[in-house]
């Protein structure tokens, strides 16, 4: 049986009470050894911060760390959610994922899946965050390799900024982030 | 893997839809990078369920008094593209009150706020993928997109499937709304069949006598349900 999917519609401007009522930004405790803080700003085509967006991240479960006892889910879900109310800025604390092995044996560099929802986006944009200290793995990553221009490829690699990872998302215009569609 | 200009699944809206003014500065213009399914679904996070509070699925019981408006029951199933139920998955909803006003501080529409209605709810789907909310029918409301612009009554839905690409945020509309043809967000879905999938149907079986009208709204997510869902956290 194959069913036609329900179409996507914009998240609109008024989702905050329903979706951001609980703090889902810390996937692991901030004092976890190896915890990584990720911050970034979502920008529109005029270079203005988007203050009514929602960012969700998900990634594979890394080995050998503990779940966040303070998380409302009572454990590690590999999933987090942040608003951008604060000047377009989103923020997460998570643990760096392991490389991902696909069933056909392809090895992907450690990465975090990122979805951005916003007023004015009729469907989310999907992208990936790669880690700047994984040059070798990134160079061999099949997804990064499939992106033809180095400029576009670089939009997926976070940079170090004051002990955190900085990952800005540009929805449109110069320096637009590489976004994914699915086969 | 290739880069192509569309990457837009059949029945889905485009990123750029100039009649919906806010897409003009937000729609990506560069071609999408197309990911094969095997790579896209390789990582399998367990989506956050969270704990569900007692009145989370009944938006009419979240305050001391009854909200004003037409009480309704909204129910349906969440299914994957291969027709299997999506079990124990978090469904979140939000909506305007019966007068067409959100509790959000940026909503300045001069319609009354209802002290007995916040307009936010959540529940988990059951073993058959079924969800159910009790709420009030939201009102239409104006927005500044174009001259005399009003949104058709709608309830926002946020739903998770078993894969990254299954994630869906959509809006459920009510049958027979005269505003459909004037609403660029609804009309951004070009295919008439796909548009119909955004409209709930009145359902006498869901309707409860002397109490509430019933609406059915089934949700189908992209992709196949390869990964069984974890049991919800207690």
- Domain residue extents for chain A: 15-170
Distances (CA, A) of A145 to A60, A108, A168, A182, B2: 21, 11, 21, 16, 11
Partners of residue A74 in chain B, C-beta under 8 Å = 51, 233
**B121 is a domain residue:** yes
Distances (CA, A) of A119 to B26, B92, B184: 9, 17, 13
**B76 is a domain residue:** yes
Q: Give CA–CA dist B156/B92, Å, rounded.
A: 8
On the question of pLDDT at B230 being above 90, the answer is no
Tell me the average pLDDT of chain A: 90
On the question of pLDDT at A115 being above 60, the answer is yes
Instruction: Sort residue A156 into left (φ over 0), alpha (ψ -120 to 50) or beta.
Output: alpha
> What confidence tier does B164 reach under pLDDT thresholds 50, 70, 90?
confident
DSSP state of A24: B
**B61 is a domain residue:** yes
Q: Give CA–CA dist B233/A74, Å, rounded.
A: 8
The CATH code that applies to domain A15-170 is 2.60.130.10
Q: Give the pair of three-digit tokens for residue B83.
A: 């027709």
Quick one: pLDDT at residue B133? Answer: 98
On the question of pLDDT at B57 being above 50, the answer is yes
Q: Which of A119, A148, A179 sits opposite B28 (nearest CB)?
A: A179
Q: Cβ of B220 under 8 Å from any chain A Cβ?
A: yes
Which ipTM value was assigned to this complex? Answer: 0.93
Q: Cβ of A80 under 8 Å from any chain B Cβ?
A: yes
**B233 is a domain residue:** no
Quick one: pLDDT at residue A98? Answer: 84
**B68 is a domain residue:** yes
Of the residues B109, B156, B165, B182, only one is catalytic, namely B156
**B40 is a domain residue:** no
Three-class DSSP labels, A98-152: CCEECCCCCEECCEEEEEEEECCCCCCEEEEEECCCCHHHHHCCHHHHCCCCHHH
**B41 is a domain residue:** no
**For a pLDDT cut of 90, what percent of chain B falls above it?**
74
**B34 is a domain residue:** no
> What confidence tier does A27 reach under pLDDT thresholds 50, 70, 90?
confident
Domain that holds residue B120: 53-220
> What confidence tier does B6 reach under pLDDT thresholds 50, 70, 90?
very low
Quick one: pLDDT at residue B50? Answer: 66
On the question of pLDDT at A75 being above 70, the answer is no
Neighbour tally for B105: CB within 10 Å: 8
Q: What is the CATH number of the domain that holds B159?
A: 2.60.130.10
Q: Give CA–CA dist B13/B150, Å, rounded.
A: 20
A111–chain B nearest CA distance, Å: 10
Quick one: pLDDT at residue A105? Answer: 81
- Taking the whole predicted model, whether its pTM rises above 0.80 is answered as yes
Q: For B7-46, what is each residue's pLDDT tens digit?
A: 456 799 999 999 999 999 999 999 999 988 777 776 555 5
Domains held by chain B: number: 1
Quick one: pLDDT at residue B21? Answer: 98
Q: For A117-135, what is each residue's pLDDT tens digit?
A: 999 999 999 999 999 999 9
Neighbour tally for B168: CB within 10 Å: 22
Burial of B211 (0-12, 13-18, 19+ CB in 10 A): exposed
């Amino acid at each position: 049986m194959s069913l036609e999917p329900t179409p996507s519609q914009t998240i609109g401007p008024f989702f905050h009470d329903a979706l951001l009522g609980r703090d889902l930004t810390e996937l692991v405790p901030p004092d976890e050894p190896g915890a990584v803080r990720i911050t970034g700003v979502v920008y529109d085509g005029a270079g203005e911060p988007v203050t009514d967006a929602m960012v969700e991240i998900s990634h594979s479960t890394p080995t050998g760390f503990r779940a966040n006892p303070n998380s409302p889910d009572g454990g590690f879900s590999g999933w987090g959610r942040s608003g951008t109310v604060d000047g377009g800025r989103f923020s997460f604390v998570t643990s760096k994922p392991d490389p991902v092995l696909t069933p056909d044996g392809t090895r992907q560099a450690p990465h975090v899946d990122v979805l951005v929802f916003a007023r004015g986006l009729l469907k989310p944009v999907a992208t990936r965050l790669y880690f700047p200290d994984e040059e070798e793995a990134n160079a061999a990553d099949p997804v990064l390799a499939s992106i033809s221009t180095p400029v576009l490829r670089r939009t997926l690699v976070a940079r170090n900024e004051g002990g955190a990872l900085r990952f800005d998302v540009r929805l449109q215009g110069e320096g637009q982030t590489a976004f994914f569609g699915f086969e | 893997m290739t880069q192509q200009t569309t990457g837009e699944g059949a029945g889905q809206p485009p990123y750029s839809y100039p009649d919906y003014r806010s897409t003009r500065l937000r729609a990506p213009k560069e071609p999408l990078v197309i990911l094969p399914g095997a790579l896209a679904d390789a990582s399998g996070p367990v989506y956050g369920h969270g704990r569900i509070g007692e009145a989370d699925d009944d938006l009419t019981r979240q305050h001391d008094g009854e909200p004003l408006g037409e009480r309704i029951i909204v129910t349906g199933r969440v299914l994957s593209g291969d027709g299997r139920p999506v079990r124990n998955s978090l469904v979140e909803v939000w909506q305007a009150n019966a007068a067409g006003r959100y509790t959000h501080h940026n909503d300045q529409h001069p319609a009354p706020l209802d002290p007995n209605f916040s307009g936010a709810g959540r529940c988990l789907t059951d073993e058959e993928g079924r969800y159910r909310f009790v709420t009030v029918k939201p009102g239409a409301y104006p927005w500044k997109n174009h001259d005399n612009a009003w949104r058709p009554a709608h309830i926002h839905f946020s739903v998770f499937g078993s894969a990254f690409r299954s994630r869906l945020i959509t809006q459920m509309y009510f049958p027979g709304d005269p505003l459909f043809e004037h609403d660029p967000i609804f009309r951004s879905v070009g295919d008439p069949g796909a548009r119909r999938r955004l409209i709930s149907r009145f359902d006498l079986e869901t309707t409860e006598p002397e109490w509430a009208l019933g609406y059915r709204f089934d949700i189908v997510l992209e992709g196949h349900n390869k990964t069984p869902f974890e049991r919800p956290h207690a």
